[in-house]
Amino acid sequence: MPGTNSMRRIELGSGTGSTPQSWTAAMTESQVYFLRAPSVGLLKIGRSIDIERRLSEIRLISPVKLELLGYVSGDWSVETAYHRRWHGLRQHGEWFTETAELRAALECDIVLNAWNRASAEAREMALEQMDGPVMDNCRAG
């Protein structure tokens, strides 16, 4: 809810199917989320203050399984910037063809956003646990 100081978990996956790492962050502002529909190769770039509620709403009307890739802090201007950047992959509305390049860029943004929001202790723990393609993609990008 706007104006509340509720706590949510940030799920960071390595992109390889391994167990995600979790960091906690206060969520009181708008977030730009990235929602995958792997069976049809699509990815939704949307915005919400309450991602869990929005995901539940979308899942109710979706004929395919959906997975939350992650999210970054941002208002409509951030969402619009993502839509413009990836316009060549747009299929319909906020749905884009999921390519390796798109997924790698979004995963990097998710990690960097979570890193910037995390406490020093959480950063240290994450450094001890992080490995694999997500970090490689962030270094390469």
Q: Per-residue pLDDT tens for 58-114? A: 999 999 999 999 999 999 999 999 999 999 999 999 999 999 999 999 999 998 998
What pLDDT is recorded for position 1?
37
Give the three-state DSSP class for 77. Answer: helix
Per residue in 12-32, pLDDT (tens digit) is 433 333 333 343 344 468 999
What pLDDT is recorded for position 18?
35
Give me the number of domains the chain comprises. 1
Give the range of the structural domain holding residue 103, as residue numbers without chain letter: 7-140
How far is it, in rounded angstroms, from Cα 22 to Cα 3?
Answer: 24
Q: Does any domain span residue 103?
A: yes
Q: Does any domain span residue 2?
A: no
pTM to 2 decimal places? 0.69
What pLDDT is recorded for position 137?
61
What pLDDT is recorded for position 139?
58
Q: Does any domain span residue 109?
A: yes
Q: Does any domain span residue 30?
A: yes
Strand partners for 43: 36, 96
Q: Does any domain span residue 112?
A: yes
* 96-114 as b/e: b if 16+ CB within 10 A: bebeeebbbbbbbbbbebb
Q: Does any domain span residue 83?
A: yes
Q: How confident is the model at residue 140 (pLDDT cuts 50, 70, 90)?
A: low
Q: Does any domain span residue 121?
A: yes
